[in-house]
Chains A and B, each alone.
Chain A
Amino acid sequence: MKEPEKMRCITDHNFSTPIRITVFIFLFLLGPVFTLPLGFCEESAAEFNFLLPAPSHVIHQQYLGLSSDKPFSLEEIKTKVIIIEIFSMYCPICQREAENVNALFRLIQADPGLRDKIKLIGIGAGNSDFEVDFFREKYNIEFPLFSDTGLSIHKKTGEVRTPHFFGLSLKGKGPVQIFYSITGGFSSPEDFLHTITTESGIKEQP
């Protein structure tokens, strides 16, 4: 039986068995490295395959294009791009940033070319329904907010610090794809929106 090419290559170098085993273990442990996309942080492991409860406000159901009051996945949102803010009512920067995020929402809604293509939602990491509602009322937040009391979504999205913004794209019927991820606030809603439209390529999409 003919020996595989790669194995022959190693034996030609007279590598001993312990070295072979060491190299094998080394490469085996490195396996996961090859599955990681370059340039991402801990959110590279983020998963967005969770369900959110249907918004209690009809206006939010309409905003997301949801036709039922059942739990929904992100892929069911009628849009091309989703911006997710992972926030907490208790986080001082989230509090300070609330006005900027509201301004971002207004910018998107005011642009007829963007309002159907970009949807914004917030997920309150470790916050109860009461805390999320309190945050919504305190800062007059118009876009949908969801509680993540048990931190299950927070864990799936990489246990990021708050505030954290994800840009996700929806193409066809496939799963959402992450194209942008940043921890911390943004000083300019205009610049942030420009980044989102540029990074997602949404300006070029019909």
Chain B
Amino acid sequence: MKKSIPISVFGTLIFFLYLAVPSFCGSTAFGNKIYDPGPLKPIDSILKVKTGDKAPDFTLTSINGKEVRLKSFIGQKNVMLTFIPAAWTPVCSDQWPGYNIAEDLFKQYDTIVIGISVDSLPTLFAWTREMGGLWFDVASDFWPHGAVSDTYGVLRSDGKAERAIFLIDKKGIIQFIHVGDINTRPDLGVLVREMKKLNF
């Protein structure tokens, strides 16, 4: 009996050490509402447009209920289309909030932003509310599913879109395309550099 004590004590110690080590510390950003799919295939589509092309026109409904038509900005503003893969995912949830605080920068270069996602309007509405609201239009490319994304060649095989940026000048010509690794954000500095070029 006496000799069994060390094993019992040791086992109890191990048990409490397990209890003392939490396996995960959550984030406060978006609470625990973010779905993390893990690393994804960096690029899973083939572009159907190139710089110098006339940007394909589209009309999509935005989360404020208005229709957003690309053609309506021609001759008025430069346009930055920002496609994101999916709402409520890690990188996407921290991309548009960055553009949200850069409103002055976009205005400085006479550029409006249109956020496009293949998510449904209610999903986009709730997600952007969680961000605290955005100054730019967020449009749903949900139905026909991913039609605009597909027109530009950024619809992935699983129905999500790439993380892609298209800069379109006031003549409606695509001047810059960035389809980067879906798992990372494009650098705002690069976008600003390209916006500067639109204004020369």
Give Cα A71–Cα B97 distance, bound, in whole angstroms: 31
Instruction: State which of B15-23, B38-46, B55-63, B68-76 sits at the interface with chain A.
Output: B15-23
Contact of A126 among B29, B97, B185, B192 (CB under 8 A): B185
Give Cα A88–Cα B93 distance, bound, in whole angstroms: 12
Contact of A183 among B21, B22, B26 (CB under 8 A): B26
B126 at the A/B interface (Cβ < 8 Å)? no
A183 near B17: Cβ-Cβ < 8 Å: no
Residues of chain B from 121 to 143 with CB closer than 8 A to chain A in the complex: 131-132
**Considering only CB atoms and an 8 Å cut-off, how many residues of chain A contact the other chain?**
36
B188 at the A/B interface (Cβ < 8 Å)? yes
B47 at the A/B interface (Cβ < 8 Å)? no
For A92, the chain B residues whose CB sits under 8 A away are: 29, 94, 97, 100, 131-132
B120 at the A/B interface (Cβ < 8 Å)? no
Contact with A along B154-195 (1 / 0, CB 8 A): 000000000000000000000000000000110111001000
A131 at the A/B interface (Cβ < 8 Å)? yes
Q: What number of residue pairs across chains A and B have CB atoms under 8 A from each other?
A: 84
Instruction: State which of A38-46, A61-69, A101-109, A194-202 sits at the interface with chain B.
Output: A38-46
A95 at the A/B interface (Cβ < 8 Å)? yes
Give Cα A106–Cα B70 distance, bound, in whole angstroms: 46
Contact with A along B5-38 (1 / 0, CB 8 A): 0110000001001101110111111000000000
A33 near B21: Cβ-Cβ < 8 Å: yes
A8, closest chain B residue (CB): B3
- Nearest chain A CB to B182 CB, angstrom units: 15
For A30, the chain B residues whose CB sits under 8 A away are: 14, 17
Give Cα A157–Cα B16 distance, bound, in whole angstroms: 26
Give Cα A42–Cα B192 distance, bound, in whole angstroms: 36
Give Cα A169–Cα B17 distance, bound, in whole angstroms: 26
A34 at the A/B interface (Cβ < 8 Å)? yes
- Nearest chain A CB to B190 CB, angstrom units: 8
Residues of chain A from 114 to 158 with CB closer than 8 A to chain B in the complex: 126, 128-131, 134, 138
Known interface pairs A12-B3, A13-B3, A33-B14; A93-B29 also in contact (CB < 8 Å): yes
A91 at the A/B interface (Cβ < 8 Å)? yes
Give Cα A48–Cα B56 distance, bound, in whole angstroms: 50
A128 near B189: Cβ-Cβ < 8 Å: yes
B22, closest chain A residue (CB): A41
Contact of B188 among A41, A96, A131, A184 (CB under 8 A): A131
B104, closest chain A residue (CB): A138
- Nearest chain B CB to A4 CB, angstrom units: 13
Contact of B187 among A34, A41, A128 (CB under 8 A): A128
Give Cα A90–Cα B132 distance, bound, in whole angstroms: 13
Give Cα A6–Cα B26 distance, bound, in whole angstroms: 41
For A93, the chain B residues whose CB sits under 8 A away are: 28-29
A60 at the A/B interface (Cβ < 8 Å)? no
Give Cα A66–Cα B14 distance, bound, in whole angstroms: 45
B-side interface residues toward A, CB under 8 Å?
3-4, 6-7, 14, 17-18, 20-22, 24-29, 94-95, 97-98, 100-102, 105, 131-132, 184-185, 187-189, 192
Q: Which 9 A-B pairs have the closest CB atoms?
A: A130-B189, A161-B27, A184-B28, A41-B25, A90-B98, A90-B94, A92-B97, A38-B20, A128-B187
